[in-house]
Chain A
Amino acid sequence: MTSQTNDPMLHTLRRLTVLEPGAARSERVRQRCRTTLAERQLQPGRSRGASRSAAVVLESGLTYGVSVGYLFAMINDLLRVYMRR
C-alpha cells in the first residue's frame, strides 16, 4: 500500500462521505447482542453441561437397550433351534 499512499484517487476515496446506519436499529441490535452475551455470562456452561449429560444418559440407555434386545433375540433363536431338535 505504500506506493498507493499518495495516489490522489485513493486519497479522494478515503474522504468519501461517511454513511451512517440507522441509529434506532443499530441501538436495537446492540441491545439484543448485549442481552445474549449477558445471559450467556449468567449461566456459564450450565445449559451446555446439562445438555451434554442428557446426551450421555440417552446414549448409554440406547446402548443398553439395543444390547439387551440383541441378547434376547439371540437367546430366542437358540431356544427355537434347540426345541426343533
Chain B
Amino acid sequence: MERESELALVARLRAGDPAAFDTVHQAFNTRLFNFLARLSQRREVAEDLLEETWLRLVAHAPALRTDTRLAPWLFTVARNLYATYCRARRVEQSHAGSLIGLWPCPALQSSPFEALAAGELERRIETALATLPVASREALLLMAIEGLSTAEAADVCGVSSDAMRQRVSRARALLARRLAAADRPPLALLSEAKT
C-alpha cells in the first residue's frame, strides 16, 4: 500500500467511511489472521482475536492520527489482544512452548486442502516455528512473513530497532537449530545420547 493512498484511507476512516473500511479489511484480514493463527496456534482463538481487532479499529477510527501507518497499528492491536488473551488464560510463555512441543503437527492445517497444500519442508518449518518462544515467533512472523520493516516490527513489539534486529537474528538461528534437530533420525539422537 503506497503511503499517499494509505494517508487518504486513514482520512476516510477517520470520517467513518464504510468503503474505506472495506479496503482496509480486504488488505489486512488474511494477513492478520495468519499472524494471529501462527502466534496462538489455534484457529478459533485467531478468529476471535481477529474480530476484536476489527472492532477496535472501528471504535478508534475517529481518533486515529492523520499520519497513522495502518499495518503497524493493526498488528500492534492484534499482538496486544493476544497478550491480553494469554494473561487471561495464565498461559506462560515457557509453559505454552512445552505444550506446543507435545504436538508434532500444529493445529493450523485444519482443512484437508491446507494439509495437502503444505509440503514436507513447509510442515517441518511450521512445526519448528510453533515451538519457538513467542517473542522469537512474533519477530519472524512480522518481519519474514508479513514483510514489516524493522522499525515497524519494533514499533509493534514495543522494542528498539536494534533489539528487533537481534531478536530476528536469534529467532532465525533458533529456528535453524530446531529444524536441524528435527532432521536427525531418532536412532542417531539415541546413539548420541549413549556416547
Contact = CB atoms under 8 A, between A and B. Distances in A.
Contacts of B57: 33
Contacts of A33: 18, 21, 25, 54-55, 57-58
Contacts of B144: 4, 10, 13-14
Interface residues of B, number: 46
Majority SS at the chain B contact face: helix
Majority SS at the chain A contact face: helix
B126 interface: yes
Given A4-B168, A22-B47, A25-B51, A34 B176 contact: no
A7 B150 contact: no
Contacts of A79: none
Contacts of A17: 109, 114, 117-118, 122
A15 B145 CA distance: 8
Interface of B: 15-18, 21-22, 25, 29-30, 33-34, 37-38, 43, 46-47, 50-51, 54-55, 57-58, 61-62, 108-109, 114, 117-118, 121-122, 125-126, 129, 140, 143-145, 147, 149-150, 168, 172, 175-176, 179
Interface of A: 1, 4, 7, 9-10, 12-22, 25-26, 29-30, 32-34, 36-38, 40-41
